[in-house]
Chains A and B, each alone.
Chain A
Amino acid sequence: MSKFMSNRRRFLGQLGAGASLLTLAACDSFDDWLGIGDPLPDFLRKANVLTREAQRAIQGPAPMAREYPASAIREGQRPNGSTDPQTADYLAVRQNDFAGYRLQVTGLVDSPLSLSLDELRSMPSRTQITRHDCVEGWSCIAQWTGVQLSRVLDRAGVKPAARYVVFRCYDPMEATPSGHALYYESIDFIDARHPQTILAYGLNGQTLPIANGAPLRVRIERQLGYKMAKYIRAIEIVDSFAKIAGGNGGYWEDRGYDWYAGS
């Protein structure tokens, strides 16, 4: 009994000492090294290249994201990010059901394009029921209809030096001294030429709503939602995105998010 008492006393004393040690290690002691542009997160971010290469290695040549049956559509596609852009340019183009809209295809192409919605709709279409995964963690299954990006690229003719497809968008993000920063994103040609990568103009059997990126948004089914630019104004084919905006290949990438968003 006395052995038990002394055990217990020693136990409780050591427990208290241990607990006070643990409280010293508070998480905010790391904050000073983790700001945007600090060397430590830039170093840790190099793991994203490993992630991309590893995923591409296990994916093989033509892996498709899972497509679901119609019964899997159980609710509307949750709108996220910009849902109702209010810039003058967008308000002008959305008049008369986007009758005046033209998708510009520029950059390292043989023949720059300016395509109306009717022209895009008259090209062969692809319809797919896929799962949208937000970087925040939620998922939503919906049916998307559009033209494969590869068909648009082929029509324009991509020059050999091309390495990335940049999506220029209408939706304004945060205010900057030179006006609003507009959303932009970029992908490489592995994803650009993937059969499920489409410029979508239809959602769940209807015309793509404004909240979900009308008139045109891109679906990149093996990456997260922030790669799938909405309100696409132009597609620019480039050999480097180093000189575009913050130089990291996307609006969120310029704010610390990984360029490859397959995980």
Chain B
Amino acid sequence: MADSQEAKRTRLFHRQSAWTRVTHWIWAVTLFFMVTSGLQIFNAHPILYFGRQSGFGDKQYLGPQAGYGNRQFDNKVLDIHAERRGDTIIGVTSIFGHDFDTSGFLGKSGSNDQPIFQGFPAWATIPSYYDLATGRVIHFFFAWILVATWCVWLFASLINGHLWHDIVPKARDLRRLPRDIVSHLRLKFPHGRSYNVLQKLSYAAILIIVIPGMILTGLTMSPGVDAAWPWLLDLFGGRQTARLLHFCGMLVIVVFFVVHIVMVIAAGPINEMRSMITGWYRGDPEAAGEEV
């Protein structure tokens, strides 16, 4: 019954250009492999630092050698490891020196019979077993795809107006923000032709800030790029801070992905998927008219 009534109140309109749809699905695949191979790389050294180098702090890393002096320092921000507590070994995630037991997910995962002691668990990494070399090969392959896709998307979106009309939030959008938040909280989503303001803000943040930021912080970790563009080191405050920001950017992308999927499901997965595959979207005529 709802369908026939809805069909009277709504109509189909073309919402997504081919550029938007094609780049969307390339991003979906690319970001999946970038996050999972990135976590594989992270597992090689699941510690994050602040600044230009890594302060190893405790002596366990230190071998017998000259040149050490007594100036060991510790600039760890995040440290995922396993440690012995009584007669068991637990996974520990240490954030600014505060320890959390994250057994089962971070530091220690796998089954009780066959525990795996690594940063992120096997189900989150590609390959699932520890293989830094292959993780890097996958990561850099898809990094090129990501850069190319972003450039194509930016160029096409500038030309066809998608960036200005649909992504960049305007003052009028921001005035609607409180109303939009309330309607989202009530699980009522506007089905207009244009994105609502929360969509615009989140898409703009991901596409204009986070993805370029991930590319630049990724490049800052490259000693070859640092030699060519040393200003990257100054921009991000050092290679290790860039690595920290790269990790934080990954967390933002994962949170965005989860919310994005939840929103698609909540707003009507068939309709949303159709619009992102064929471009055609069923929405409110008045909302469509109002926003065009």
Chain A interface residues (CB < 8 Å from chain B): 4, 7-8, 11, 14-15, 17-18, 22, 26-28, 30-31, 34, 36, 41, 44-45, 47-48, 50-51, 55, 58-60, 63-66, 68, 72, 74-79, 83-84, 131, 133-142, 203-207, 209-212, 221-224, 252, 255-258, 262-263
Is the Cβ of B122 less than 8 Å from the Cβ of A133? no
- CB of B51, distance to nearest CB on chain A (Å): 9
B222 partner residues in chain A, CB cutoff 8 A: 55, 262-263
Is the Cβ of A136 less than 8 Å from the Cβ of B225? no
Partner of B66, one of A11, A131, A209, A255: A209
- Having A28-B127, A203-B67, one finds 5 other A-B pairs with CB under 8 Å, namely A75-B56, A137-B221, A209-B66, A221-B227, A222-B227
- CB of B77, distance to nearest CB on chain A (Å): 13
B69 partner residues in chain A, CB cutoff 8 A: 75-76, 204
* A135 and chain B: residue at smallest CB distance: B132
Please tell me if B16 contacts chain A, counting CB pairs below 8 Å: no
A18 partner residues in chain B, CB cutoff 8 A: 261-262, 265, 269
B186 partner residues in chain A, CB cutoff 8 A: 4
- CB of A140, distance to nearest CB on chain B (Å): 5
Please tell me if B188 contacts chain A, counting CB pairs below 8 Å: yes
B127 partner residues in chain A, CB cutoff 8 A: 27-28, 30-31, 34
Is the Cβ of A256 less than 8 Å from the Cβ of B133? yes
Is the Cβ of A137 less than 8 Å from the Cβ of B269? no
Is the Cβ of A222 less than 8 Å from the Cβ of B223? yes
Give the number of chain B interface residues (Cβ < 8 Å).
66
Is the Cβ of B128 less than 8 Å from the Cβ of A27? yes
Partner of A211, one of B63, B122, B125: B63
Cα separation A53 to B123 with both chains bound (whole Å): 34
Is the Cβ of A262 less than 8 Å from the Cβ of B131? no
- CB of A134, distance to nearest CB on chain B (Å): 7
Partner of A140, one of B53, B122, B129: B53
Most buried by B among A26, A68, A84, A256: A256
Is the Cβ of A78 less than 8 Å from the Cβ of B66? no
Partner of A141, one of B42, B53, B134, B221: B53
Cα separation A22 to B257 with both chains bound (whole Å): 12
A139 and B240 contact, Cβ closer than 8 Å, known pairs A75-B69, A210-B65, A257-B133: yes
Is the Cβ of B67 less than 8 Å from the Cβ of A137? no
Cα separation A4 to B189 with both chains bound (whole Å): 12
Most buried by A among B63, B73, B131, B262: B63
Is the Cβ of B239 less than 8 Å from the Cβ of A83? no
A50 partner residues in chain B, CB cutoff 8 A: 144
* 10 A-B pairs with least C-beta separation: A262-B224, A76-B68, A256-B133, A204-B67, A28-B128, A263-B222, A136-B45, A209-B65, A138-B54, A137-B45
Is the Cβ of B228 less than 8 Å from the Cβ of A60? yes
Cα separation A243 to B27 with both chains bound (whole Å): 40
A139 partner residues in chain B, CB cutoff 8 A: 52-54, 239-240
A74 and B63 contact, Cβ closer than 8 Å, known pairs A135-B136, A255-B133: no
Cα separation A255 to B155 with both chains bound (whole Å): 39
The 8 A CB mask of B238-264 against A (1 = contact, 0 = none) is: 011001000000000000000001100
* A143 and chain B: residue at smallest CB distance: B67
Please tell me if B25 contacts chain A, counting CB pairs below 8 Å: no
Is the Cβ of B243 less than 8 Å from the Cβ of A55? no
B228 partner residues in chain A, CB cutoff 8 A: 55, 58-60, 63
B134 partner residues in chain A, CB cutoff 8 A: 34, 36, 41, 256
Please tell me if B64 contacts chain A, counting CB pairs below 8 Å: yes
A59 and B233 contact, Cβ closer than 8 Å, known pairs A41-B137, A47-B144, A257-B133: no
* B54 and chain A: residue at smallest CB distance: A138
Is the Cβ of B53 less than 8 Å from the Cβ of A224? no
Partner of A66, one of B47, B64, B230: B230
Is the Cβ of A27 less than 8 Å from the Cβ of B239? no
What are 30 A-B interface contacts by the 8 Å CB criterion? A8-B187, A11-B266, A15-B262, A15-B266, A31-B129, A34-B131, A36-B134, A41-B134, A47-B137, A55-B225, A59-B224, A59-B227, A66-B226, A66-B230, A76-B68, A78-B54, A138-B49, A141-B52, A142-B67, A206-B67, A210-B65, A211-B63, A221-B227, A222-B224, A224-B223, A255-B133, A256-B131, A256-B133, A262-B225, A263-B222
- CB of A26, distance to nearest CB on chain B (Å): 6
B132 partner residues in chain A, CB cutoff 8 A: 135-136, 257
